[in-house]
């Protein structure tokens, strides 16, 4: 662990106590109804008791997975006979099963005729150590057959633990529509290319870089089959990067206002490839959940008037991790380029010779406007949108603001970090000539389920917000286009 993770007790410039970066333990996996596993059956024996149509479907699944399937049924259905005709590794024995038939079975499946047979079959299978499934009798099952999306060797299994099979089938249909049929060819290419690449890879970073490039190419080339040139191109790109990159990488990622679905695909890919993630307090748990589980998570949050990690500490930690050859994601709430002190972090990384890039995110002002269902610009009423922060380095209202611009009736203004200084801000705006009746909305926790909205004329907003005492991050919007936010719900009125 870098020394920079040690705690600090000095004060920030606004008098708030500082804190050191702190590693966040990975959240425990939420309880699973079943453990999703993929079982190798090629060349292994599977026993199936019963010859019904339901049993025939299980026989086909087992045979398609490479198993040698022994079916025991004195009167197999026509469906079972047709299935056995398609798969030479299915052998039908025209008699009832016996406990000895289960010897050497990798899996045991039965379509039992009654409770007594189900109980006996499950007991006989467990006696020889074979996992058992009794169709439509979950109380006797060690495993279940989920709904399958088949792009083998890419296989996706869906289970609802028997609670809602139709729901599982609906999800399968949705996933089938999203995954092109030729993804099977790309998955097969990955399998066949692995040995060639493994001979050239010298470490974890090279291997991960190769597969990240492969995944990006496969997703972008869904309409065609993989070609040998694709492998050559990926290997060449990896070789160039390996020669050029002697240090780690820093990626500044916009985490958006909180709703994980507002992340860009590029942001998600960065999170899933990171070695270390430095995240702000305002980054939601749902966003962090999208990160690679093996990634180290370090909280470097800064909160107005609250315990905060110093910016110099954050920049130094980015450099330390980058020089340690780590791929570091600096995850910021909203957009990194909007009041995020991004330039300081970029400058520190680049001064140390570390590659640094930015992935933009949805900033809170735009998320709030979308939630309200309004446009911040409008012909003839608002031809300019301006973003300001109402929070200076010492926590007070900034004095170097363009007040004539902020009272312009032809502009829409978004105010970040403005709750503490709201009374002083509104008073100054009114003193500078802003119409007291200017429509305004304060949005707390924009885009999240706990979002609240406070709608009032600008002059009444301080009293309304003081009475509501919001604790989450807030965004103030004011201007003529906000008059259409009066019907927004949920809201509070003065």
Catalytic positions, please?
280, 302
The token duo for 135 is 């169709």
Q: Count the residues in the chain.
A: 494
Nearest to 446 by CA among 388, 481, 488: 488
Reply yes or no: is the peptide bond before residue 446 cis, omega within 30 of 0: no
**Helix pair 228-244, 204-220: axis angle to 10 deg:** 140
List the beta strands (DSSP E) in 228-326: 249-254, 276-279, 296-299, 308-309
User: Are 122 and 105 within 8 A, CB to CB?
Assistant: no
CA atoms within 13 Å, Cβ hemisphere of 176: 11
The token duo for 434 is 């802003």
Nearest to 391 by CA among 369, 415, 363, 373: 415
User: Are 270 and 327 within 8 A, CB to CB?
Assistant: no
The DSSP secondary-structure symbol of 494 reads -
Q: Count Cβ atoms within 10 A of the Cβ of residue 469 and give its class: 0-12 exposed, 13-18 middle, 19 or more buried.
A: exposed
Q: Count Cβ atoms within 10 A of the Cβ of residue 148 and give its class: 0-12 exposed, 13-18 middle, 19 or more buried.
A: middle
Q: Rg of the Cα trace of the chain? A: 30
User: Are 252 and 358 within 8 A, CB to CB?
Assistant: yes
Q: What is the spatial distance between Cα 387 and Cα 175, in angstroms, rounded to a whole number?
A: 40
Element (H, E) at 358: strand 355-359
Q: What is the spatial distance between Cα 255 and Cα 286, in angstroms, rounded to a whole number?
A: 10
């Amino acid at each position: 662990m870098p020394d920079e993770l040690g705690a600090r007790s000095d004060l920030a410039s606004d008098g708030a106590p500082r804190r050191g970066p702190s590693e966040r333990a990975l959240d425990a996996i939420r309880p699973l109804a079943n453990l999703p596993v993929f079982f190798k059956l090629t060349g292994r024996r599977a026993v199936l008791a019963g010859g019904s149509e339901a049993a025939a479907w299980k026989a086909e699944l087992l045979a398609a997975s490479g198993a040698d399937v022994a079916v025991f049924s004195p009167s197999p259905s026509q469906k079972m006979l047709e299935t056995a005709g398609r798969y030479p590794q299915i052998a039908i024995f025209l008699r009832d099963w016996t406990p000895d038939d289960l010897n050497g079975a990798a899996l045991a499946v039965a379509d039992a005729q009654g409770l007594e047979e189900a109980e006996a079959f499950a007991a006989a299978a467990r006696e020889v150590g074979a996992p058992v499934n009794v169709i439509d009798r979950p109380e006797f099952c060690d495993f279940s057959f989920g709904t399958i999306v088949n792009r083998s060797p890419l296989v996706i299994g869906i289970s609802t633990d028997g609670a809602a099979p139709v729901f599982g089938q609906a999800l399968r249909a949705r996933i089938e529509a999203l995954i092109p049929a030729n993804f099977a060819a790309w998955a097969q290419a990955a399998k066949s290319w692995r040995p060639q690449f493994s001979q050239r890879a010298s470490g974890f970073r090279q291997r991960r870089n190769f597969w990240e490039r492969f995944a990006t190419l496969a997703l972008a080339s869904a309409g065609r089959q993989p070609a040998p040139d694709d492998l050559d191109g990926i290997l060449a790109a990896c070789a160039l990067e390996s020669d050029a990159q002697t240090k780690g990488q820093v990626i500044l990622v916009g985490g958006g206002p909180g709703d994980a679905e507002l992340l860009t695909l590029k942001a998600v890919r960065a999170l899933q490839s990171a070695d270390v993630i430095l995240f702000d307090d305002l980054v939601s748990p749902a966003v962090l959940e999208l990160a690679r589980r093996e990634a180290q998570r370090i909280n470097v949050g800064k909160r107005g008037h609250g315990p905060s990690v110093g910016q110099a500490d954050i920049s130094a930690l980015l450099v330390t991790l980058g020089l340690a050859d780590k791929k570091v994601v600096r995850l910021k709430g909203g957009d990194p380029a909007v009041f995020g002190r991004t330039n300081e972090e970029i400058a520190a990384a680049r001064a140390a010779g570390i590659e640094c890039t930015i992935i933009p995110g949805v900033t809170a002002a735009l998320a709030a406007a979308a939630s309200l269902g309004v446009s911040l610009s409008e012909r003839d009423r608002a031809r300019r949108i301006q973003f300001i922060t109402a929070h200076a380095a010492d926590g007070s209202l900034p004095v170097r603001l363009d007040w004539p611009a902020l009272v312009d009736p032809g502009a829409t203004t978004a105010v970040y970090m403005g709750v503490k200084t709201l009374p002083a801000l509104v008073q100054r705006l009114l003193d500078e000539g802003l119409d007291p009746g200017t429509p305004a909305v304060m949005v707390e926790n924009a885009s999240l389920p706990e979002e609240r909205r406070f709608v009032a004329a600008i002059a009444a907003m301080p009293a309304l917000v003081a009475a509501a005492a919001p604790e989450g991050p807030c965004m103030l919007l004011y201007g003529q286009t906000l008059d259409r936010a009066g019907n927004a719900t949920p809201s509070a009125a003065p």
